[in-house]
Structure 1
Amino acid sequence: MFLSKVHGEAQHHLFIRLYGLYEKGIVFLLQTPSLRSCIINVLHNPHLSICTDEHTLISEAEFDTELLHEIDKHDALPTPNLETCMRYLHTTEQMIDSLLLTQYQVTMLQKLTAYDLQKSAFILQMETYTHKNKLRYRADKMSCYMLKLAAKFGCITDMMYIAMYYYKTLRYMEALSIVEMIKVKLAQPYLMYEYNVNIEMYTEAVGGQSWSTKMRQAVAWYIILDTDVQYISELIPEQQSALQNNLSSLSIPPFVLLYMLEILCYRHVDTMRVHTALDDLQTLVHYDQGQFVPLHLRDISWQILGICQQVTGNLQAALYSYQQSLRQPPYNSIHRPTEMRIQGSCH
Structure 2
Amino acid sequence: MSFNSPLRDEELISKQVFERMVDIVGTSHIVANRREIMSMTEVLNRSAIKYDVPFRIATSGSMGEGFRFEESDMDVMEYPDGFQVIWDHSQNQHKSFSEGEIFVFDGSHSPPGYGLLQILSPEELNSSKLLFVKYGNSYLSSTFWKKTFLNPILGSRIHGPCISSNLECLDFDYAECLISRCWPPMASTFLSRCQLWPNPQTLQDIVNKECHLVPIGHKLGNHEEEEWMISFSLAEKALVYSMNHSQFLLYGLMKLFLKEIINKGLDEEEEILCSYHIKTAIFWTLQQGSSLECCQRNFLKCFWVCFELVTKWVYEGVCPNFFIPENNMFLTKCHGSAQRKLFCRLNAIYDVGPTCILNWLSMQDRSPSLYSYLRGNTNDLYIKELYNELAVFALPRYLNFQTCVRMLKSIVKSAPSNRDGISALVARMTYVSMLQHVAFQLMSLKKEDYTRDNNFDELSCLAIMQTAKLGSVSDLILRAMYSYRVKKYPEALFILKMAKVWLKQPYMIHFGYLDTEYSSEIAACPGNSLLEVVIKSFVFSIKLENPIFYIDELFTEQEHSRKNHWSTIFIPPFVLLLMLEFLCYRHVDTQRAQHALDELFDLMHSNQDSYLTSVFQDISWQILGICQEMAGNLQIALYAYMKSLVEPIVNRIRSATLQRIQSVKRRMCRI
Supply the distance in 2 between the matched residues of 1:162 and 1:322 (Cα, whole angstroms). Answer: 27
Which residue of structure 1 lines up, in the alignment, with residue 624 of structure 2?
A: 305
Aligned residues with identical type, % of pairs: 35
Which residue of structure 2 lines up, in the alignment, with residue 287 of structure 1?
A: 606
Q: How does 1:25-104 map to 2 (within 5 A)?
A: 51=371, 59-74=378-393, 76-96=395-415, 98-99=416-417, 103-104=421-422
Deviation per residue, 1:82-113 (Å, 9 max, x gap): 211011111122231x4268701111111111
Secondary structure, counterpart of 1:225 in structure 2: strand
Secondary structure, counterpart of 2:484 in structure 1: helix
Contact 2:571 2:616 in 1 (8 A): yes
User: In the alignment, residue 305 of structure 1 is paired with which amino acid?
Assistant: L
User: In the alignment, residue 173 of structure 1 is paired with which amino acid?
Assistant: P
Supply the distance in 2 between the matched residues of 1:100 and 1:284 (Cα, whole angstroms). Answer: 41
Offset of 1:284 from its aligned partner? Answer: 0.5
Supply the distance in 1 between the matched residues of 2:424 and 2:632 (Cα, whole angstroms). Answer: 47
Which region of structure 1 is more displaced relative to structure 2, 143-152 or 194-203?
Answer: 194-203
Offset of 1:326 from its aligned partner? Answer: 0.4
Distance of aligned partners of 1:76 and 1:132 in 2 relative to their CA distance in 1, 3 Å threshold: closer
Supply the distance in 2 between the matched residues of 1:128 and 1:185 (Cα, whole angstroms). Answer: 36
Deviation per residue, 1:209-232 (Å, 9 max, x gap): 112222332221101000000111
Among candidates 257, 263, 271, match of residue 582 of structure 2: 263
Among candidates 142, 152, 161, match of residue 469 of structure 2: 152
Which residue of structure 2 lines up, in the alignment, with residue 233 of structure 1?
A: 552
Task: Verify: 1:118 aligned to 2:441, yes or no.
Answer: no
User: In the alignment, residue 426 of structure 2 is paired with which amino acid?
Assistant: M
Among candidates 445, 448, 460, match of residue 127 of structure 1: 445
Contact 1:50 1:57 in 2 (8 A): no
Supply the distance in 1 between the matched residues of 2:590 and 2:377 (Cα, whole angstroms). Answer: 49
TM-score by length of 1: 0.79
Which region of structure 1 is more displaced relative to structure 2, 178-187 or 286-295?
Answer: 286-295
User: In the alignment, residue 191 of structure 1 is paired with which amino acid?
Assistant: M
Supply the distance in 2 between the matched residues of 1:298 and 1:129 (Cα, whole angstroms). Answer: 38
Secondary structure, counterpart of 1:146 in structure 2: helix
Q: How does 1:315-334 map to 2 (within 5 A)?
A: 315-334=634-653
Which residue of structure 1 lines up, in the alignment, with residue 325 of structure 2?
A: none
User: In the alignment, residue 190 of structure 1 is paired with which amino acid?
Assistant: Y
Which residue of structure 2 lines up, in the alignment, with residue 246 of structure 1?
A: 565
Deviation per residue, 1:279-336 (Å, 9 max, x gap): 1000111223533211121110000000000001111110111011101111111111
How many residue pairs get matched? 300
Secondary structure, counterpart of 1:268 in structure 2: coil
Which region of structure 1 is more displaced relative to structure 2, 331-340 or 198-207?
Answer: 198-207
Among candidates 160, 181, 197, match of residue 514 of structure 2: 197
Offset of 1:238 from its aligned partner? Answer: 0.6
Task: Verify: 1:166 aligned to 2:469, yes or no.
Answer: no
Supply the distance in 2 between the matched residues of 1:60 and 1:320 (Cα, whole angstroms). Answer: 41
Structure 2 unaligned spans of 5+ = 1-28, 31-368
User: In the alignment, residue 521 of structure 2 is paired with which amino acid?
Assistant: E
Deviation per residue, 1:182-240 (Å, 9 max, x gap): 00101111111113212443543671311222233222110100000011110011111
- What stretches of structure 1 move > 6 A for 4+ residues in a row? 130-136
Deviation per residue, 1:126-174 (Å, 9 max, x gap): 11556789878x3222222212222333221110111010111111111
Supply the distance in 2 between the matched residues of 1:131 and 1:173 (Cα, whole angstroms). Answer: 30
Secondary structure, counterpart of 1:99 in structure 2: coil
Deviation per residue, 1:224-259 (Å, 9 max, x gap): 000000111100111111111111100000010000
Which residue of structure 2 lines up, in the alignment, with residue 108 of structure 1?
A: 426
Offset of 1:76 from its aligned partner? Answer: 3.5
Deviation per residue, 1:35-79 (Å, 9 max, x gap): xxxxxxxxxxxxxx9949xx7665245423321211222153444
Which residue of structure 1 lines up, in the alignment, with residue 500 of structure 2?
A: 183
User: In the alignment, residue 659 of structure 2 is paired with which amino acid?
Assistant: M
User: In the alignment, residue 116 of structure 1 is paired with which amino acid?
Assistant: M
Contact 1:59 1:199 in 2 (8 A): no
Supply the distance in 2 between the matched residues of 1:50 and 1:172 (Cα, whole angstroms). Answer: 48
User: In the alignment, residue 245 of structure 1 is paired with which amino acid?
Assistant: N
Supply the distance in 2 between the matched residues of 1:189 and 1:248 (Cα, whole angstroms). Answer: 33
**Structure with the bigger percentage of helix:** 1
Contact 1:144 1:162 in 2 (8 A): no
Q: Which has the larger radius of gyration?
A: 2
Which residue of structure 1 lines up, in the alignment, with residue 171 of structure 2?
A: none
Contact 1:153 1:212 in 2 (8 A): no
Distance of aligned partners of 1:272 and 1:81 in 2 relative to their CA distance in 1, 3 Å threshold: same
Aligned-residue Cα RMSD (Å) equals 2.8
Which residue of structure 2 lines up, in the alignment, with residue 43 of structure 1?
A: none
Secondary structure, counterpart of 1:224 in structure 2: strand
User: In the alignment, residue 632 of structure 2 is paired with which amino acid?
Assistant: G
Structure 1 unaligned spans of 5+ = 1-22, 25-48
Supply the distance in 2 between the matched residues of 1:255 and 1:265 (Cα, whole angstroms). Answer: 15
Supply the distance in 1 between the matched residues of 2:646 and 2:447 (Cα, whole angstroms). Answer: 38
